[in-house]
Amino acid sequence: MRVVPHPTPTSNDREAVFGRLLPLVTGWCTRLGAGQIDAEAAASDALMVVLRRLDDVEPDSPIEAFAWGVTTRVVREHRRRAWWRKWVPGAPMEHAAPPSADSPAQRERVRLVYRVLDALSEAHREVIVLMDLEERAASEVATILGLPEGTVRSRLRLARESFRAEAGRVGLGVLHLVEDPDDA
C-alpha cells in the first residue's frame, strides 16, 4: 500500500477514509498489542479519534501517518490498562485471541511470536510490525513514523537482532528473518 497525501475530506469522504483505515488500524492494534489487548476495541477507539480529528490533519500529510500516531497512543493506553487489570482482583481482562491457526503447534508458535513481540521495545516493535509483518518499504515507514529513512533502517536491524535474541530465550526457533538488502 502506498502512502499518499490526502485532501481534507468532507463529511461524505469520512466513510471512505474509515473503510480505507479500518483494516490497517485493526492490524496495527493486533500486532502492537501482542495479544494482550482487545484489538477490535483499541481499533475502534483509534478510529474514533482519527475521524473526530480528521480536519486537524495537514492536507499534504498522509492520513496513514496520522492514523499510525493515534493508533500507537491508543494501543499504549490499552496495554497499560490490560497490565493494571492483571493486578486488580475482579477487573475484567481485555484479551485478544491470536490469529487462527490450524494445529496446536501453530497456535503455540503464534503465541510465542506475540510473546517475543511484546518483549521488544516499542520502537523495535513498531518497525518490525510495519516492515516485516506489513512488508512496507523503508521510505513509507519513515513517512509514517516521521523519522529519517536511515533511522528506520537502523532500527529494523536492531529490532531483528532483539527479536532473534528474545525468540531464542523463549525457545522459538526463528525459521527465517531474511536480511533483504533492499530493506537494510
**Tens-digit pLDDT profile for residues 67-108:** 999 999 999 888 877 755 555 444 444 444 444 557 787 788
pLDDT of residue 179: 44
- With a CB cutoff of 8 Å and minimum separation 6, the contacts of 136 are 1, 130, 144
How far apart CA 165 and CA 108 sit, in angstroms, is 18
pLDDT (tens digit, 9 = 90+) per residue, 120-168? 999 999 999 898 888 788 999 999 999 999 999 999 999 999 998 998 8
Identify the band that residue 3 occupies on the pLDDT scale cut at 50, 70 and 90. low
Each domain of the chain, given as residue ranges in start order, spans 1-97, 98-184
Name the nearest CA neighbour of 128 among 28, 39, 21, 36: 28
Which CB contacts under 8 angstroms, 24+ apart, belong to 145-149?
145/65, 145/68, 146/65, 146/69
CATH topology of domain 98-184: Arc Repressor Mutant, subunit A (1.10.10)
- What secondary structure letter does DSSP report for 32? H
What's the pLDDT score for residue 47? 95
* % the chain with pLDDT above 90: 41
Phi and psi torsions of 162, nearest 5° = -65, -40
C-alpha cell at 94: 481485555
The reported pLDDT for the residue numbered 84 is 53
Pick the CATH number of 1-97 from 1.20.140.10, 3.90.1150.10, 1.10.1740.10, 2.60.320.10: 1.10.1740.10
**Would you say residue 54 has pLDDT above 60?**
yes
